[in-house]
Structure 1
Amino acid sequence: MVYVRARCVPETRQSSESYKLWVLIEKTGCIHSAECSCVAIDTSTPLKRKSSAAAGYTPLKYLDKPKIEKDIKKLLRDTKTNAVALYTLSDSEEDCSGDEIEIQSYPLNIIDLINRYGVEKVYENANQSYIENVCELTKGQSDNDMWYYQRKGRLTASNFHSAIHYKGDNPDNYIVKTVLGKYHFTSEATRYGKFSEPLAREKYGAKMKQSHVSFYCKETGVFVYEEFPFIAASPDGIVNCKCCSQGLVEIKCPFQMKNEMPQDAMAKNSSCVLKDGKYVLKRDLSSPYYVQILGQMAILKSPFCDFVIYTNKGMNVERNIPYNPTLWEEMFTKIKDFYNKFILPILN
């Protein structure tokens, strides 16, 4: 039998806490039992399917499972759909009835890697092939369930600033809760950022194409750091052109200043500083934005990153923020110290 656990958001109350549910399925596909934490299940009376009138259609003929899987996989490939099914469905012509099939599993996140192999063998299993696979399967980022799964247990670039400046000793601090998926923060500001980022990326790309040869900006997934696979980054885009080579872009869409000019928005942000009459990104470890960007450049081995502030009144593009290896070494030491002190003992 196969045991499946999941979370389900109520359709009519999507801001509510998700329900926990599980299903026990036989290998034939028959459901053996199931349960949900919603109030509908809180009863001693077994639930029954409501009988319906005959639909008046002719039942389908018998369908061959291997052929169905092959057809679905071909459809996903042809439409370039990013789906885990590409790695689990078989497209073999061979008759596999009655035999056990070893399906290709998706890459385990850091929690499951440690549980299966132990901390000592994490580096061995998180090799270059693993890193590339994780990145490919997590494209789409917050719209992709695999993105959340691979981030769980890993300290990501968006939390680097909080980690390196944490002064407390609480083993169950808010950063740990965030990393372990116990605390999922969402607000009108985060929803606005998610909504605005694609438009900002499109306008940034159009602007860069005006002055850069063969410029493109592509979305990406989770990049695991090869030197320390317990941390990762998800940049807003990988950029490339013939004149500047490959780099990154980080886009910020400040909700509170969404109706202000970008320079005015930067003036009110602690991550920015006035220089030569213009506000720019502050390039030290006191700046949350810079710490995030520096972490992304280190993990992706990128020589530079563009920094974009986007509002309803315009866009500010700060080009070619360079990678600083000295500051990264200082920051990386603090990141490892935090992870080894607060997170690894919980996972190990």
Structure 2
Amino acid sequence: MYNDLSRDGDTRVFRGICLPSMKGGYYVVHAVATKRLEPSKPLGDITFKKNVINEADGKKRKRSYDPCPGSTPSDVDGFRMNLQAATPRALWLRYNKPARVQAADTSSAADEVQPQVQAPSAPAPESFNVPALALVDLVKSHGHLTGEEFLVCLQDTYTEADISEIERLTRLQSNSPLWIRYRQGMVTASIARACLTRTKNLDKEPRPHNLRGVVNLVLHASTFKSAAMKEGMQKESEAKKAYVLMLQEKGHSAAIEDCGLAICKELPILGASPDGVVKFSCECCKQTVRLLEVKCPQQTKNSFRDADMRLPKPVYETQMNVIMGILHISKCDFFVYRSKEETVTVTTEFDAESFNDYVNSMRYLFSEVPVPSPEK
């Protein structure tokens, strides 16, 4: 932005908008590249024009910063879902901007414009009838309890019906604000190996234990996604189609059901969001159910710890075993997809002993430190 203050253009307003980086008013730039504070003048007397300072890539990034980014429809929908989750009886007050009318009808039309009060309608993919508070919300009202008492409280709070409804409401997974909220404070399968390793090392360290790393994990504080992770997420749908096609070529008939956040009834601090549950309908495998775990790495070998690519990495083994334990499924197909021509499938069996050891370790962890609130 600049303002022409002279005919030759040597003196111009250097900054015509208010940014957090500004210490005072706008400045004047002279031909000798010096700056001085311009005397105040009415805003209406300043003529703003678009400058070309932001054209060069990677230069003068501070000037292109927008202190007040506009909200998108998805932002509004996400805010409404979070608000409704916290206050189910909330109402929306929506004001419809009046349409332009002719001057003769302005007074009468203005009198007819009234704000409309609307109760939030039930969305198609997700209902707002939230069955139970999220784990981190329960902490606020039960923060006085010990870790073990809090675990008992969770078991009493989350009924089978609640767990089933939460899974249904969160099937959009990362695109669902409810999914994001319910995961906070929960040890999900994706971080199971890291939490298990940290817990195993607690007894080797002097008290008080430094659990900051675990706290950040269970709060899912980091939302960083690398380029490889984003590519994998984009290819997941393509990979699932390739998996079903592979089954059909082997003479099987099956369908993949999407899943939301599955919560462990025995220990509700444990959760998992499966890539899918495979249900077979062919005569040879009728009534068979398998878990599906999809990985789309940049190199297929990156998902395995052996050269023959038959042993998934330990972090994936723990992840799959935890999900099978929560869903009570005995087998999981580990499907690694690079392209239609490059896929690897490994079927793993549920290890009950390892799962029980994991559950006991997480119970011990939460008896050591109560679930923290994300606001702290």
1:54 to 87, 93, 100: 100
Q: 1:312 to 1:52 in 2, by over 3 A?
A: same
Bigger drift between 321-330 and 300-309 goes to: 321-330
1:1-348 pair list within 5 angstroms = 10=69, 29-30=92-93, 54=100, 72-73=121-122, 76=123, 81-85=124-128, 87=129, 105-116=130-141, 119=150, 120-166=152-198, 167=201, 169-173=209-213, 175-242=214-281, 243-244=284-285, 245-255=288-298, 257=299, 265-266=300-301, 268-269=302-303, 271-274=304-307, 278-282=308-312, 287-312=314-339, 314-344=341-371
Question: Equivalent residue of 1:279, what SS?
Answer: coil
Cα distance, 1:157 vs. partner?
0.3
Cα distance, 1:199 vs. partner?
1.0
Question: Equivalent residue of 2:309, what SS?
Answer: strand
Question: Equivalent residue of 2:310, what SS?
Answer: strand
Which residue identity does 1:272 align to in structure 2? R
Q: 1:64 to 1:310 in 2, by over 3 A?
A: same
Bigger drift between 182-191 and 217-226 goes to: 182-191
Which structure has the highest strand share of the two? Answer: 1
Q: Is the 8 A contact 1:147 1:221 kept in 2?
A: yes
Cα distance, 1:160 vs. partner?
0.6
Distance in 1 (CA, whole Å) between partners of 2:372 and 2:250 is 50
For residues 32-52 of structure 1, give each alpha carbon's deviation from its aligned partner in whole angstroms, at most 9, with x where no partner exists: xxxxxxxxxxxxxxxxxxx99
For residues 63-106 of structure 1, give each alpha carbon's deviation from its aligned partner in whole angstroms, at most 9, with x where no partner exists: 996xx769x54xx5xxxx21234x3xxxxxxxxxxxxxxxxx44
Q: 1:69 to 1:248 in 2, by over 3 A?
A: same
Distance in 2 (CA, whole Å) between partners of 1:319 and 1:27 is 48
Q: Is the 8 A contact 2:139 2:373 kept in 1?
A: no
Distance in 1 (CA, whole Å) between partners of 2:113 and 2:194 is 59
Q: Percent identical across equivalent pairs?
A: 21
Which residue identity does 2:100 align to in structure 1? A
Distance in 2 (CA, whole Å) between partners of 1:27 and 1:292 is 38
Question: Equivalent residue of 2:138, what SS?
Answer: helix
Cα distance, 1:335 vs. partner?
2.9
Q: 1:208 to 1:336 in 2, by over 3 A?
A: same
Distance in 2 (CA, whole Å) between partners of 1:254 and 1:83 is 31
When normalised by structure 2's length, the TM-score is: 0.61
Q: Is the 8 A contact 2:335 2:343 kept in 1?
A: yes
For residues 238-284 of structure 1, give each alpha carbon's deviation from its aligned partner in whole angstroms, at most 9, with x where no partner exists: 001144401110001113x2xxxxxxx22x44x4324xxx31124xx
Q: 1:332 to 1:203 in 2, by over 3 A?
A: same
Task: Show the counterpart of 1:16.
Answer: none
Task: Show the counterpart of 1:34.
Answer: none
